[in-house]
């Protein structure tokens, strides 16, 4: 195999109760990438369509991750990247994570899979780090593994694939205003109340329990955030209004996706997600902001090979 075309899903991270430690993929949007082996032992990006990202291989997350990977593997070839960048950078739905996951997955396949999924996550994280202040794994892990994934620890890297309830759907609205991850991280306090920590710990624990017992009502009572939402929601136009619609329509929970500005809502069944989509779309048309919305089943599938 000399060439591969891959699809890498967008991802919702943080998921209200799991700041920096939880994420899942949505399959209705993602980056596409064609990666081709080259004789010359170097990396080159020869085409970028969709949203604008750097051609410079030292500035593009895909090639930064790829570079770390080939420095370790030292293969007898180089790689040519054609990127169809479908996820707008700074959207909060794992734009850079998707590109990094696509790149390491593609190269691994082209080299006959020398690395396991954990190793792929490690290399993909190296690409992620340029778009953020600190290394994080809550986008690349679900993009690579699929399903609901928790980050147990970063060093050593330990990720846990959690049970994904069958009837879980996600609505996402992505207002087309860019919030840089580095900026939305800076506005967070360094310290939080011990009381809020205790609440966050228990709500995350009950979310994990709810996934194992497939208890949708408990999932609903566990999608709370006591740490982050209050600081970041100020950056997002009509945040409270969107959340209010989602909750009124029976969403299990609604919060900021990643570092924003995207907002997600989880529902039991697709109908509620579609109805929230209809109502939020109506509302957001009045905001003056451009936006996209998505409805997706929460899939067990991560980055995958596409037929050419």
Catalytic positions = 128, 181
Rule CB under 8 A: say whether 148 interacts with a copy of itself. Answer: no
Of 196 and 290, nearer to a copy of itself (C-beta) is: 196
Q: Please give the residues from 178 up to 207 whose contact with a copy of itself meets the rule CB under 8 A.
A: 188-194, 197-207
> Which residue has 């979310």 as its token pair?
207
Is the CB of residue 43 less than 8 Å from the CB of residue 24? no
Is the CB of residue 170 less than 8 Å from the CB of residue 28? no
> Which residue has 């993602």 as its token pair?
30
**C-alpha distances in Å from residue 80, one per residue of 15, 96, 143, 269:** 35, 18, 22, 41
Rule CB under 8 A: say whether 152 interacts with a copy of itself. Answer: yes
**CB of residue 75 vs a copy of itself: minimum separation in angstroms?**
34
Is the CB of residue 268 less than 8 Å from the CB of residue 225? no
Rule CB under 8 A: say whether 18 interacts with a copy of itself. Answer: yes
**CB of residue 238 vs a copy of itself: minimum separation in angstroms?**
27
Rule CB under 8 A: say whether 150 interacts with a copy of itself. Answer: yes
Is the CB of residue 236 less than 8 Å from the CB of residue 256? yes
Return the residue of 58, 153, 244, 281 that touches a copy of itself, per CB under 8 A: 153
What is the rounded (10 degree) CA torsion for 120, 57, 305, 14?
A: 60
Q: Please give the residues from 162 up to 181 whose contact with a copy of itself meets the rule CB under 8 A.
A: 162
Of 116 and 190, nearer to a copy of itself (C-beta) is: 190
Of 35 and 150, nearer to a copy of itself (C-beta) is: 150
**CB of residue 71 vs a copy of itself: minimum separation in angstroms?**
29
How many Cα atoms are found within 13 Å in the side-chain-facing hemisphere of 198? Answer: 3
Helix (H, G, I), strand (E, B) or coil at 81: strand
How is residue 179 annotated by DSSP?
Answer: -
Nearest Cα to 145, choosing from 132, 127, 160, 126? 160
Q: How far apart are the C-alpha atoms of 178 and 92, rounded to whole Å? A: 9
Site string for a copy of itself, 204-243 (x = CB under 8 A): xxxxxx--x-----x--xx----x----------------
Rule CB under 8 A: say whether 300 interacts with a copy of itself. Answer: no
Rule CB under 8 A: say whether 21 interacts with a copy of itself. Answer: yes
How many chain residues are in contact with a copy of itself, going by CB under 8 A?
A: 38
Which residue ranges make up the site for a copy of itself (CB under 8 A)? 17-22, 150-153, 158, 160, 162, 188-194, 197-209, 212, 218, 221-222, 227
């Amino acid at each position: 195999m000399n060439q591969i075309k891959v699809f890498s899903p967008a991802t919702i991270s943080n998921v209200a109760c799991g700041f920096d430690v939880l994420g899942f993929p949505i399959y209705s949007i993602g980056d596409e990438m064609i990666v081709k082996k080259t004789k010359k032992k170097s990396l080159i990006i020869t085409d970028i369509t969709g949203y604008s990202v750097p051609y410079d291989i030292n500035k593009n997350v895909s090639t930064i991750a790829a570079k770390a990977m080939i420095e370790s593997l030292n293969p007898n070839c180089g790689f040519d990247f054609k990127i169809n960048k479908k996820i707008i950078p700074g959207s909060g739905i794992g734009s850079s994570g998707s590109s990094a996951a696509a790149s390491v997955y593609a190269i691994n396949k082209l080299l006959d899979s020398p690395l396991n999924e954990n190793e792929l996550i490690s290399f993909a994280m190296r690409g992620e780090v340029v778009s953020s202040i600190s290394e994080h794994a809550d986008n690349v892990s679900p993009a690579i593994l699929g399903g609901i994934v928790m980050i147990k620890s970063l060093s050593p890297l330990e990720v846990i694939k959690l049970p994904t309830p069958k009837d879980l759907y996600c609505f996402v609205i992505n207002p087309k205003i860019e919030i840089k991850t580095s900026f939305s991280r800076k506005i967070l306090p360094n310290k939080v109340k011990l009381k809020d920590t205790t609440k966050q710990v228990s709500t995350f624990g009950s979310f994990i329990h709810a996934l194992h017992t497939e208890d949708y009502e408990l999932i609903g009572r566990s999608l709370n955030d006591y740490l982050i939402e209050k600081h970041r929601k100020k950056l997002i136009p009509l945040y409270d209004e969107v959340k209010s619609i989602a909750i009124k329509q029976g969403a299990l929970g609604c919060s900021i996706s990643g570092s924003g500005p995207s907002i997600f809502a989880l529902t039991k069944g697709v109908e509620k997600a579609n109805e929230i989509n209809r109502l939020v779309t109506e509302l957001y048309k009045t905001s003056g902001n451009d936006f996209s919305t998505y409805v997706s089943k929460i899939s067990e599938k991560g980055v995958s090979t596409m037929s050419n």
